[in-house]
Amino acid sequence: MAGMAQAEPQVITIRGGTLDDNQAAYGVLYRAVNDLARRIGADPIPGEVATSYATGEHLFRHLADTAAEFWVAENAEGMVGYARSIEHEGFFELTELFVVPEHQSAGIGRRLLERAFPEDRGEIRVIVATTDVRALGTYARAGMTARTVIASLIGPPPAADGPISRPLEVERIAPGNSALVELAALDRRIAGFDHGPTIPWLAETREALLFRRDGDAIGYAFVAKSGVGPIGAQDPDALPPILDEVLWRTMALGAETVSFEVPMSNGVALRHLLGRGLTIDSFLTLLLSNREFGQMDRYVAFSPPIFM
């Protein structure tokens, strides 16, 4: 997820980021996202910044460990902005670009973007962007086009004694299991890009599920109490039972709330989740890219909305 960022002139230094910068970088994200949420009437990130970071530390560690580019902007008082991207097999995604509110619209975001997301890299270039119109103008000038709105479908998982519907075989894939290769290949066909090292990391941090019909792999999902996705199906009609299984598993894991990042071109998933009582959150994001890719009518992105 990327959001950009009025400030008085100050000396701003741009340098390469390291793992040690992660907590300060999250503080920038927290302030920028909550400021935008306030301006558009959306719910802020819950909790204090330190508690919130601790909950998602494993995600931000993974982003730092696998970053293609990681740059931070700072002044004499500390970090005021940062940007990070991932890259594998021709897929280049800007995962984060945030500037603290008091330093937005001062050119810091543009300087970070030039370093973290250079225009000469990536066959498929992607940003999951917030609706901050200042940022969207910058991304458009950098050659990015909006492909679809991504809606967060949020709510408590429906109570049930078991899966709400289960016409498919469900196989839980352990980290290192050879079936994870099969899942990754299915993900590539549906998502339209290679998630690379993120697939093994997902299998270690979330339940990896492979769905079969008559022995053939036709869908997959990653599920944890802290978030779900990516989720995909070879045919959109297979999404309802897959989504029901995810809902049931999140409830079994003790999640009070679940959030699905659904491209609004995926009408099957939208209608099914709305029918299960989830609602569309007012904090929308946009899928931007330099060209069309993937089959977004049968795909649900990673939650929280940091990357596809």
Q: How confident is the model over 206-241, as pLDDT tens digits?
A: 999 999 999 999 999 999 999 999 999 999 999 999
Say what the pLDDT of residue 306 is: 95
Are 269 and 239 in contact by the 8 Å Cβ rule? The answer is: yes
Are 162 and 247 in contact by the 8 Å Cβ rule? The answer is: no
Say what the pLDDT of residue 158 is: 82
Nearby residues of 73 by Cβ (< 8 Å), 6 or more positions away: 12, 13, 14, 79, 80, 81, 82, 99, 103, 108, 111, 112
The CATH class of 153-280 is alpha beta
Q: Give span(s): CATH 3.40.630.30, the chain.
A: 13-143
The Cα 280–Cα 259 span in angstroms is 9
Question: What is the average pLDDT across 163-179?
Answer: 84
In order of 15, 86, 302, the CA distances from 26 in angstroms are 17, 17, 18
pLDDT digits (tens, 9 = 90+) for 144-163: 999 999 999 999 998 655 55
Length of the chain counted residue by residue: 308
Edge-to-edge strands, sheet with 169-173: 169-173, 207-213, 216-224, 227-233, 299-300
The answer, yes or no, to whether residue 5 has pLDDT greater than 80, is no
The answer, yes or no, to whether residue 20 has pLDDT greater than 80, is yes
Q: Which of 98, 30, 5, 59 is nearest to 307 (CA)?
A: 59
Element at 199 (helix H, strand E): helix 198-205
Say what the pLDDT of residue 167 is: 77
Q: Give span(s): CATH 3.40.630.90, the chain.
A: 153-280
**Strand-pair category, 124-129 with 91-99:** parallel
Element at 217 (helix H, strand E): strand 216-224
pLDDT digits (tens, 9 = 90+) for 95-143: 999 999 999 999 999 999 999 999 999 999 999 999 999 899 999 999 9
Q: Which of 1-5, 65-69, 130-134 comes out lowest in average pLDDT? A: 1-5
Q: Which of 29, 34, 35, 37 is nearest to 2 (CA)?
A: 29
CATH fold label, 13-143:
Aminopeptidase (3.40.630)
